[in-house]
């Protein structure tokens, strides 16, 4: 999933993100990305059996333990670990299977798509949100999004 309109729609329509592999260490990329998304109005649900809570939210051992509806399953795990997570995402009827930067399991993505989920590979939710909604272009970053109009969907 690489086109701008699809990524924008996914991030605009889906506000509940289960972050699989979220670390409680502030210096880890998963923590930084989850905190950013939380600060931009998303409900972040940590999934990591090592911790009881992260970012003020109860941490769950697996996706299947989450008692509420999850829209995006954001994966911060090795590519080899993605298939069982994709199975869990399908089982809980998530809408999107999102594999973070450096994570690219094509088989899991195909399985998710066959089950009706959208799949995003090798992209960071924080970077994509900043690129599409956060105004990165206002500080000189080339977001490759060209428009003469100021976007109306900015969170701030």
Between these two residues, 72 and 138, which has the higher pLDDT value?
Answer: 72
pTM of the predicted structure, to 2 decimals: 0.86
Q: What is the pLDDT of residue 156?
A: 47
H or E stretch at 121? none
The pLDDT-based confidence of 133 (bands split at 50, 70, 90) is confident
Q: Please say if the pLDDT value at position 145 is more than 70.
A: no
Q: What is the pLDDT of residues 36-59, one digit of tens each?
A: 999 999 999 999 999 999 999 999
CB 95 within 8 A of CB 71: yes
Q: Please say if the pLDDT value at position 67 is more than 80.
A: yes
Token code pair at residue 156: 């701030």
Alpha helices in 2-45 (DSSP H): 4-13, 29-39
Quick one: DSSP state of residue 138? G
124 exposed, middle or buried (CB, 10 Å; 0-12, 13-18, 19+)? buried
């Amino acid at each position: 999933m690489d086109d701008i309109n699809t990524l924008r729609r996914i991030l605009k329509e889906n506000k509940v993100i289960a972050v699989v592999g979220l670390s409680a260490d502030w210096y880890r990329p998963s923590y930084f990305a989850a905190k950013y998304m939380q600060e931009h109005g998303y409900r972040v649900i940590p999934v990591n059996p090592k911790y009881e809570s992260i970012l003020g939210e109860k941490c769950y051992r697996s996706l299947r333990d989450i008692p509420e509806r999850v829209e995006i399953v954001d994966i911060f795990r090795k590519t080899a670990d993605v298939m069982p997570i994709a199975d869990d995402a399908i089982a809980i009827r998530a809408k999107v299977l999102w594999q973070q930067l450096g994570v690219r399991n094509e088989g899991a993505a195909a399985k998710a798509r066959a089950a009706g989920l959208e799949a995003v590979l090798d992209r960071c939710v924080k970077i994509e949100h900043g690129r599409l909604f956060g105004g990165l272009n206002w500080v000189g970053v080339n977001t490759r999004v060209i428009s003469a109009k100021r976007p109306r969907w900015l969170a701030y």
